[in-house]
Each structure stands twice: as structure tokens, then as C-alpha cells.
Structure 1
Amino acid sequence: MRTARSHGTRDLGRGAPERRPVSLRFDGWIAGLGTTSRTRLVLGHWARSPFGPFSDVMLERADGHRLLLAPTRRTAGFIAGTYGFDEVRVVPVRVGVAGNHWTVVAGALLDLTFTVGRRGALGVLLRAVPGPVCARPSYATLTGPAARLLLGVHTCGTAGAGRHEWYGAHDLRPVTAATARFEGRDLGSLAPVEPPVHFGFGSTPRTPCLVRVTTTVRAPDPARRSAGRQLD
């Protein structure tokens, strides 16, 4: 598991050393889907991260209200510092995977189930790229133009708190069916991610899908230390 790594400091001869950025790597899956109620949901299911394994859900309502559901104060604080939300709630987020069927339960707020289909040509192509290559920020930068052309998404950009972010995709499968209830209300059936979500510098693909991804966040060291003091 690769986690946050400090690159140390360099004395410039002026008293205070220069602090270099630190890189934080998250390895897992992102599912993005819409519903006929025009609620859009983005699940992050992270097998490896600087915070250990965890899952989170970003939800944007038809009126544009953006909500984060995260399992701990530390994960909620880091995600909210990287993306933009109108509301953050700390609740247990549990994910179950049985074959092609995924279930997500976020406290008493959200019940989501979805099914993924067979990967298409793009998914087959992504799986052919070695994992260590997909994990490099340079890979996300190189594949950015193709991702914008084929999927309408950005693979790299600036984030909150002076951070930069890169998404390296390893696999892509369509989401073929979904049901969702939020606070007891049925959100409707599966629909495109329309309008795009507005959490960060880019949205998920318009067509509902599940992406196997390595996300790298490069953060200024002082910001990371400050966030750690705030969240611990």
C-alpha cells in the first residue's frame, strides 16, 4: 500500500526551510450515476488510501445542493477540503459487492443498489495497460485529451486547498440498472448523469459507469499538516 509520502525539506539559507508537496494515493473504484429525479450520485470505494479502506458518497440534488456522506471526521474533512459541498454528514458507509451487483448503505440516509454490465472496447483497452503505469500522474495527463473526447471528463486539474489531482483509469464498465432511496424517498430509476455534477474540476461520464481508478492528490505540506490537526 502506498500512502502519503513526505519528500522532506530543503534549507535555502534564509532560516525557514522550503516544504515540498506530498502525494496521497487512493486506489479503488468510482461509480457515477444519475436518477430520473435528477439526483446524481458518485460513490468512491477505496481499497487502499492514506486513511485505510473506506467508502464515501457524493450526492447532488436537482436544485444543485451538494452533499457529502463520509464515514469519519478525518475522511470527511479531507474530501471536503479537496472538493466543494454545501453539506457534510459523517455516517457509516458500507459497500457490498456480489458479482455484478453492488449495494451501498450510508447510515439511515441512503440505500443504493446498482448492477454493472460487461465492459466494452474502452474497458478492455484500459485493462491492457499495466497497473503501475495507470497509477502515474503522467498517465492521467497523457490520456486527458482522449478522455475529454470519448467521455467528456477531465483526468487532472486543480482542487481545493492548493491541491492538484490526477485520475488514472484501469477499467470501465457500464452501470445497467440502479435503485436508490434517500431519507426514505425513492429517487427514481437509472438515468444519465445530467446535468454534470459540480463537486470539483470535472464530472463523471454522462453515461452511468463504474471506473477502476488510482487517484493521486498532491497537497502542499503545510495544508496537510493543518488538516491533520483539524481532523484528529
Structure 2
Amino acid sequence: MDRFRGYIAGIGTYSGTRLVMGHWLESPFGAFTDVMAENAAGSRLLLAPNSDVAAYVGGTYHFDAVDVVDVEARLTADRFLVSAGPLRLNLALGPRTILGRLLEHVPPALAVHPRWLAAVNPVAAVLVPGVSTAGSAGGGRREFYGVRSIRSVAGASAVWNGRDLGRLSPLKPPVRFGFSSFPPKPQIVAVTTTIIS
């Protein structure tokens, strides 16, 4: 059983490129940040900080290409900054959402337990269409998302290879990296991801 504790942020942009960033404080690979990008044409790219992360994440999710690049990230009280290969990202973080405040009242051990996440999966799919808390991952693995808090993203500056990706937009259409998409509304979630082989 592998556990990743940290944050996942997801945004859409006016250009049609959708971005999902994992900012992990604790994991089997130590602390790291990775970026999953899907452009308007549907091409999916993983930007990983090293070959070990590239192999693991690339074997768990679905990508058309995987690049190992220099990744730097910083999460503060009101900003999430990411520099990864062609991407320069600056997210302005907003307040906690209503659902995020409710989730903070779930006992921490229960909030991340695979059995709990499998049980609440049907409810999660109704509350946030397209989102699952439990499902099948690549390589015969099972994956569970235990979200502990949610904050909105109030604004974003995203540049890819020097080109502005445009204003902040919903994640539409849904991203297709794994069994679950990210919520349509741009946000950042505090999460523990459990992957069982």
C-alpha cells in the first residue's frame, strides 16, 4: 500500500488546456510535484521531476507522453506557484468551499480509509459529477482519494512555452488521466491518495 499526502490542484484555461498538479509532502518518493496536462486536442502529458516518479505515475494513469523535467513548486497561504518544463503557473487561492468545510469535520483516520472511501464513492459522484473516491488504476492497482479540505482557485496565470494559456476556466471537458476526473470548478484540495497493488 502506497500513500501520498499533500495537495491536488486543478484548473481549466480559455485555450482548452486543463492542468492537474500533485504537490506531495509525503510519498514513497519523498516530497515532489508533478503536472498532468491535457490540451484542447485531447493529448495527455505528464511532467515528472525524475524517472522513478515518471515510471510510477505513468504506470498508474494514462498519458500520450511522459517527460522528465525540472520541477519547482511553492505553496503559500494564498498562492500556488509551479515551474515545470514548459509550464509557468501562478494560482491565486480563494476561500474554503462549503463542501471543504464539511469535510474538515470527518475524523482524519476515517477520511482517508479505503473502506470509507469505497462506501462514500456513490455519494461523491452525485455531489461532484465526474469525480470518484475509489476505483481501478493502471497496473491492476486500486486507488482511493481521501479529500480533507477544499479551497477555491480565485485566479490563475498559466504560460506554456512562452504562450499565455488564457483566463481561468472550468475543467471542461473532464480530464482523462484515470478513473476519476477533477471537479469542473478550479480548486485545490488537501488529499491523501492511497494506492493498493
TM-score normalised over the length of structure 1 = 0.82
Match of 2:62 in 1: 84
Match of 2:111 in 1: 134
- 1:213 maps to which of 165, 169, 191: 191
Q: In the aligned structure 2, how far is the partner of 1:34 from the partner of 1:96?
A: 20
Equivalent position amino acid for 2:2 in 1: L
Match of 1:150 in 2: 127
Equivalent position amino acid for 1:154 in 2: S
- 1:58 maps to which of 36, 42, 51: 36
1:117-132, aligned counterparts within 5 Å? 117-132=94-109
Match of 2:170 in 1: 192
SS of 2:100's partner is helix
Gaps of 5+ in 2: none
Match of 2:138 in 1: 160
SS of 2:126's partner is helix
Greater shift in the superposed pair: 126-135 or 171-180: 126-135
- Relative contact order, higher structure (CA 8 A, sep 6+): 2
Indicate the percent of aligned positions where both proteins have the same amino acid: 48
SS of 2:81's partner is strand
- 1:143-182 CA-to-partner distances (Å, cap 9, x unmatched) read 2122111111111111111111000110011111111011
Gaps of 5+ in 1: 1-22, 220-232
Match of 2:49 in 1: 71
CA contact 1:139–1:168 (8 Å) conserved in 2: no
- TM-superposed CA distance for 1:90, in Å, is 0.3
- TM-superposed CA distance for 1:117, in Å, is 1.0
- 1:169 maps to which of 147, 158, 161: 147
Equivalent position amino acid for 2:125 in 1: R
Q: In the aligned structure 2, how far is the partner of 1:200 from the partner of 1:96?
A: 25
Would you say 1:96 and 2:74 are equivalent positions?
A: yes
- 1:202 maps to which of 180, 185, 193: 180
| Deviant stretches of 4+, over 6 Å | none
SS of 1:118's partner is strand
Q: In the aligned structure 2, how far is the partner of 1:151 from the partner of 1:33?
A: 15
Equivalent position amino acid for 2:149 in 1: D
Match of 2:9 in 1: 31
CA contact 1:66–1:85 (8 Å) conserved in 2: yes
- TM-superposed CA distance for 1:116, in Å, is 1.5
Let me know the Cα RMSD of the aligned residues. 0.9
TM-score normalised over the length of structure 2 = 0.97
Match of 2:88 in 1: 111
- 1:27-83 CA-to-partner distances (Å, cap 9, x unmatched) read 110011100001000000000001111110000000000000010100000000000
